Chains A and B, each alone.
Chain A
């Protein structure tokens, strides 16, 4: 089903999203990938506040290319999510509502998503030029020294993503391939 949502997203909205939904996100989201996650996570374990309020927010696993003059951001597609699996459950405990990336998640992450009501979206990997057009504003808000891995606050408009895993435990990576094979007599 095609849906339009406004970020940040409440837990009610998260619950309304189902694996397989094609979603356009508009609003404010944040970028963080490997190094930012590690720093945020280690800080949080020591009792420090994360650099932005995680409650109801969406993190986009992204390290963009530098923007040319006149551009908001460079190429801006998703990176592989599994490298953030170690850190994601703690962020969910602090209110994180959504993650955008690509590729499989660990059982621990999928379990935490159900417990904490969080959704996992996939953006199309390798379509960074196209996705950059949906980003209207980008600002580094923390960890500037990490370069491309710094945390950025993004204003996005109709960012196209697919709900891969929902808060009810449905996982499209598990079902879509099986369904395709079954419908084509490949079982």
Chain B
């Protein structure tokens, strides 16, 4: 049994919210630079050049990469031999987000009620996904998610008979429909299997994977690679203004499902695919 005080959790979350909004992870940064070199549309290359310059300014001048600093999505892997001391864990996570968004000059983009739409003014509450795991550590992963791309995400309740072709056609349709609205080049997170909500959480998890890492399952990895090629043949390109860089990666996460179904969720993220991870 190990004791972790919520003050430590708050401090770490605060720093992670700020860090994720100012610096993309090295894998994301590298893939955008590489796309700029390889893009063959003149305007597309110019747009990717702006994105590279933007990342540099963001880091140097501490101006968020994107003005939509997102809703804070927090994935918590709580070791079952950890005793959390101090305050309620959920409250602590929200306090970390609150402090991060205030002290980091991040935008407060959360409204309290979906219809009344009054801003909570501190970007809370976060959306928290808890997972209980063995061990005596807590893993925190913060993924600030912008809504331009979130709005273009979809869940398809496919039938088993739809097979691989059905999966691919649905993902392609979601990407086509997203087009310029999702700020391409995008990262496509796919959740396949589980049930209605599990597929969506898997899709979001898929976005947090290292962009150079394919699925460990060979048949899924093949679909990821084929889909990436097919998406980039759509010609949507950077900013939706034509080009070969429409997606930077397709990441698919899977889970067992019911004999009658094949839920598929497509969670689209723009090129500002932010995440920060720490293990306490």
Which one of A68, A77, A103, A129 lies within 8 Å of B180 (CB-CB)? Answer: A103
Determine whether A114 belongs to the interface, using a CB cutoff of 8 Å to chain B.
no
Q: Is the CB of A124 within 8 A of B239?
A: yes
| Beta-carbon contacts under 8 Å, B88-102 to A | none
Most buried by A among B50, B106, B180: B180
Which one of B67, B179, B234, B242 lies within 8 Å of A128 (CB-CB)? Answer: B67
Cβ of A6 to closest chain B Cβ, rounded Å:
23
Cβ of A187 to closest chain B Cβ, rounded Å:
9
Q: Is the CB of A126 within 8 A of B271?
A: yes
Determine whether B30 belongs to the interface, using a CB cutoff of 8 Å to chain A.
no
Determine whether B57 belongs to the interface, using a CB cutoff of 8 Å to chain A.
yes
Q: Is the CB of A177 within 8 A of B236?
A: yes
A residues engaging B (CB < 8 A)? 22, 35, 62-68, 71, 74-77, 79-80, 82, 102-104, 122, 124-130, 132-133, 146-149, 160, 162, 164, 172-173, 176-181, 184, 186
B residues engaging A (CB < 8 A)? 41, 43, 47, 50-51, 53-55, 57-58, 61-69, 105-109, 117, 119, 121, 146, 148, 151, 179-183, 233-237, 239-244, 270-272
| A–B pairs, 24, beta carbons within 8 Å | A63-B109, A65-B106, A65-B107, A68-B105, A71-B63, A75-B64, A75-B65, A80-B151, A80-B181, A103-B148, A122-B240, A125-B239, A126-B65, A129-B61, A147-B121, A148-B108, A162-B239, A164-B241, A173-B180, A176-B241, A176-B242, A180-B244, A181-B235, A186-B233
Nearest 7 CB-CB pairings of A with B: A125-B183, A103-B181, A180-B242, A176-B242, A130-B54, A75-B67, A129-B63
